[in-house]
Amino acid sequence: MGVDESSRRTFELLANETRLGIISALGEASGEGGYATLTFSELQEATGVEDNGHFNYHLQELVGEFVEDREDGYALTLAGIRAYQAIVARVQRDSLSVEPFEIDGTCPNCGETKEAWYENSRAQIGCRSCGKLEFRYPVSPESIDGSEPETLLNALDRQLSRDYLSMFNGVCPYCAGRSTVQLAEFEEYYEDLGMASTPVNVHAACDSCAWFLYGNLGALLIFEPPIYSFLRERGVDLWEEYVWEPTPDHEVTNVSWEPQRVAGVFGLAGEELRYVLDEDLRLLEYEIVSGD
């Protein structure tokens, strides 16, 4: 993935403390009513730059791409908002950690109680006894109260649910680029991290920014409307469960190629939903039958 001249120009524009201060000042002045518009003098005062010429030069460098020059002042463009969000995220990144604490469930590898913790800007769920990880995913510290460890679980659940829904439906939640979804083998990279493998893995990757995630097939399919309805009508509300908790009685029964087809079944309350997926892992057909 190459970096073109426009991308290089974008980073050059932001490689200056005064310009980052201008973007931060516009962002920090914003509130519930929307993103703020500040006059030249208001923005200069908020930025803390006394030299008019110096301030105006750097402000004009941002106008167009990151800052909009309006009749009543200056405001962030969408690119400016994204830059401000990145600044805020960077400031918060190293400011929080959550020590391991026990959660519901046992390790499928050794039987010890699962734990959750937060370090290096990533929420992690796994077993500290044998070292197996089940989830390791970036979560913003803004979503977590370090004095209440349970907030880590809620933050991870919301982040994973959003990203699963978006990536597995073809849209990157971070750059809005197109994501490609396919079956994938459990890579050596994850084995080196000690992460637990799942029987059938799904890999989603953005064609533009290369953001990616893995999930088991059940985690993908539970958001499909027919499957979601099947489970909900039988007493399982997936929005009341954490997304990493085991998928109710799901089994992949067959995988074939040329063309790719995946067959499987969800079983619940004496009934089964049997499905077939196409090469894009979309529901090709399904039926609900009484369980054997």
pLDDT in tens, the chain (292 residues): 445 666 677 778 888 999 999 999 999 998 777 889 999 999 999 999 999 999 999 999 999 999 999 999 999 999 999 899 888 876 655 568 899 999 998 988 899 999 999 988 899 999 988 888 888 889 988 889 888 989 999 999 999 889 988 998 899 998 889 999 888 765 655 565 555 566 677 889 999 889 998 877 887 888 889 998 999 898 888 777 888 776 678 888 988 888 889 999 999 888 999 999 998 888 999 999 986 6
Structurally, how many domains does the chain consist of? 3
| 106 and 211 belong to one structural domain | yes
Residue 59 · residue 43 · CB < 8 Å: yes
Give the tokens for residue 38. Answer: 């500040």
From residue 251, give the alpha-carbon distance in Å to each of 85, 160, 181, 255, 274: 41, 22, 20, 12, 10
State which residues form the domain around 177.
98-217
Residue that terminates a domain, selected from 71, 92, 113: 92
Q: Does residue 151 come out as left (phi exceeding 0), alpha (psi in the -120 to 50 range) or beta?
A: alpha
Collect all residues with Cβ–Cβ distance below 8 Å to 248 and sequence separation of at least 6.
Answer: 231, 236, 266, 267, 268
| 112 and 192 belong to one structural domain | yes
What's the CA gap between 209 and 207, in Å, rounded?
6
Backbone angles phi, psi at 122, to 5 degrees: -125, 135
pTM: 0.74
| 179 and 119 belong to one structural domain | yes
| 285 and 205 belong to one structural domain | no
